[in-house]
């Protein structure tokens, strides 16, 4: 009995010191540094793949800080009613990080700007940003099936990005973004990242050592900048040099912007087309209109003679399915010569101007093709 007592005391002493130490660090970070700030909450969506509901999240772990504001349903954007108002034409935008709007605030994402554009012209429309970064067409199909159709949309827009094929090759089919955080160690990690000052601090140190682009602007300026200065990127208009980088990357975008395509790329393209057919059939059965948007890669905008085979494959499939197809390549080539559309060379997501170009082109396309309701 005495031996058990000594062992118990030893175990208590063994764990007491680190627990007290961690508790002291946690308290100090909360009192003197205002942590946790929720900096990484956007990285850990709920098991449904959406953002934490009713949250304002300042995301500054990328090259440009930005603000995400979610509604009660977990979509990025203003509050919406589950029951669609009778006089509203509801549009849902599916896609990955480009549609979601990485590195721009809510009011600079193209789904938001599309709604503003059409409303200014007198249309009673509502555009739901139903995108979430980190997926491709299989997760977009799941988002449509599990969340979007319940909102009774009249029109669904699916936006293509050139990394969709690479994501399809490396991802887990039909898994919703964030579904891996629903249970087990990942769920615990997500909770700690959002609620523990110590965990947030450790993640900050880890990402800081991992990449020189982590919190690039904040580290460079010494302050959190959330105004227009965010988008003054050095080398932003060195289009040819920035495009060369994308051509030299073997994976990601390079899978489908440089020919010849590998056998694994060809197989992934066919898988993408199969998902596209399934999505089209689901929308037809639900009596929802469907629009496909091709968003060109950076090199396709700035390098004359770039391969457009992937675009032609997608356009041909959409023609067979009778799905309206909007190719943004011409307008990007025209507008991209006048002003930078992307955050290159830091990152190749769209800046606020690029998002506006997409929104304007989409508004024109929807009206010219008769996809909006008759006035």
pLDDT digits 0-9 by tens, 339-366 = 999 999 999 999 999 999 999 999 999 9
pLDDT in tens, 192-232: 777 788 878 888 888 888 888 888 898 889 999 999 999 99
- pLDDT digit string, tens, across residues 18-45: 666 766 776 776 777 777 877 787 777 6
Closest CA to 64 of 267, 307, 226: 226
**Would you say the pTM of this structure is higher than 0.95?**
no
Q: Is the distance from CB of 257 to CB of 246 less than 8 angstroms? A: yes
| DSSP states along 15-78 | HHHHHHHHHHHHHHHHHHH-----TTGGGS--TTSSPPTT-EEEE-SSSS-EEEEB-TTS-BSS
Residues 29 and 86: their CA atoms lie apart, in Å, by 50
pLDDT digits (tens, 9 = 90+) for 59-116: 988 899 999 999 999 999 999 999 999 999 999 999 999 999 999 999 999 999 999 9
């Amino acid at each position: 009995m005495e031996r058990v007592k000594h062992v118990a005391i030893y175990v208590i002493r063994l764990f007491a010191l680190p627990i007290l130490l961690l508790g002291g660090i946690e308290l100090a970070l909360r009192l003197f540094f205002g942590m946790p700030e929720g900096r990484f909450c956007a990285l850990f969506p709920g098991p449904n793949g959406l953002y934490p509901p009713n949250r304002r999240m300042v995301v500054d772990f990328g090259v440009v800080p930005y603000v995400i504001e979610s509604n009660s349903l977990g979509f990025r954007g203003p509050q919406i009613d589950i029951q669609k108002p009778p006089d509203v034409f509801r549009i849902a935008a599916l896609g990955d990080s480009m549609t979601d709007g990485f590195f721009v605030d809510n009011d600079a994402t193209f789904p938001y700007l599309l709604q503003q554009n059409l409303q200014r012209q007198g249309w009673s429309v509502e555009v739901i940003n139903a995108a979430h970064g980190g997926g491709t067409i299989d997760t977009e199909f799941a988002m449509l099936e599990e969340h979007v159709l319940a909102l009774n949309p009249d029109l669904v827009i699916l936006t293509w990005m050139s990394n969709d094929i690479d994501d399809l090759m490396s991802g887990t089919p039909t898994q919703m973004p964030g579904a891996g955080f629903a249970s087990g160690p990942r769920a615990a990690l997500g909770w700690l990242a959002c609620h523990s000052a110590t965990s947030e601090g450790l993640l900050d140190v880890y990402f800081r050592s991992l990449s020189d682009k982590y919190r690039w602007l904040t580290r460079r300026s010494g302050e959190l900048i959330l105004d227009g200065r965010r988008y003054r990127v050095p080398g932003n208009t060195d289009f040819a040099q920035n495009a060369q980088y994308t051509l030299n990357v073997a994976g990601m975008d390079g899978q489908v912007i440089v020919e010849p395509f590998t056998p694994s790329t060809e197989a992934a393209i066919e898988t993408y087309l199969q998902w596209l057919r399934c999505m089209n059939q689901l929308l037809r059965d639900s009596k929802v209109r469907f629009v496909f948007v091709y968003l060109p890669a950076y090199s396709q905008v700035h390098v004359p003679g770039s391969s457009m085979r992937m675009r032609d494959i997608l356009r041909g499939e959409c023609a067979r399915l009778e799905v309206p197809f909007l190719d943004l390549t011409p307008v990007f080539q025209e507008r991209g010569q006048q002003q930078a559309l992307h955050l290159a060379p830091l990152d190749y997501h769209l800046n606020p101007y690029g998002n506006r170009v997409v929104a304007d082109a989409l508004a024109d396309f929807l009206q010219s093709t008769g996809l909006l309701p008759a006035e």
